[in-house]
Amino acid sequence: MDPRSIRRLLKTVVWRQKGLPCSFPCEFLQHFSSGAEGWTEHLSWARGGGLVHKLAAIDPSTTVEIGAIIHEHVQVGPHSHIGSGSVVGPRVTIGSHSTLWYNVSLQNSCIGNHCAIHCGVCIGQDGFGFFVDDQGNMIKKPQAWTLSVFSFLCSWRDTVIGDHTKIDNQVQIGHNVVIGHSCMICGQAGLGGSSTIGDFVVLGGKCGVADHISIVSKVRIAAKSGVTRNITKPGDYAGFPAVPAAEWRRSMARFCKLGQGTRAHLGMVD
């Protein structure tokens, strides 16, 4: 079934459950239930009206709002909330008291307890991995691993985000990344694949961490910095490549003085 038909179906279900007049023909629903392969196994969830697969294990106290879709073998703990428009892919696990707001997409992931995932977030999608073969062809590299949003460690193949870690908008986290607990990752930051971030780490806006980089706990990276080497000592870092913040400030001071001397030598006046 094409996306337009799915949206039409969901709108029809919403209108009928609210008792509103519906201009869509009943034959459409009959065609959907009888001829749409794979969708006949989804039932309307009593607590919210969303569509839940028969093979999903959903706690009765969980709310699945109208327009949300939960696929097969999904497990959701008690008192969680799935917002309208959200899609939970096969074999995803969601803990208790977690909230998915509107239009969230989950695949290949495991969400812990008391997590809040805001509108429009996509987690667990296929990674950006390619290689060039001997003939010069661009080949897609499989990226089918699991993303876990909780504190205990998984195997190196999984992407793990620890408890109480806050992630701002437009943040890119690569595959096989491990992030500790109580970290703060500000907007437009990017973490390369297989990088490891300790606990209580702060990444400023637009800063980047190269792949396979390790950062110890209690490190703060200034905005627009680039981490190209492992950071083994706690503290503040800045610049590109990122160095201890005090060293970066001294370098900038010398650079500014050099610029002033050059302008004076050329007779330029500010």
For residues 194 and 231, is the Cβ–Cβ distance under 8 A? no
Is residue 175 part of the annotated active site? The answer reads: yes
Residue whose pair of structure tokens reads 């008690």 in the numeric block: 78
Gyration radius (Cα) of the chain, Å: 24
For residues 106 and 87, is the Cβ–Cβ distance under 8 A? yes
Instruction: Kindly list the distances between the CA atom of residue 84 and the CA atoms of 130, 228, 237, in Å, as whole numbers in the listed order.
Output: 34, 41, 41
Per DSSP, 40 falls in state T
Please give the Cα distance from 264 to 270 (Å, whole number): 10
What are the b/e assignments for 163-199, b being 16+ CB within 10 Å? bebebeeeeebbbbbbbbbebbbbebbbbbbbbbbbb
Please give the Cα distance from 188 to 267 (Å, whole number): 41
Q: Tell me which of 71, 97, 175, 265 is the catalytic residue.
A: 175
Point out the residues that are catalytic. Answer: 175
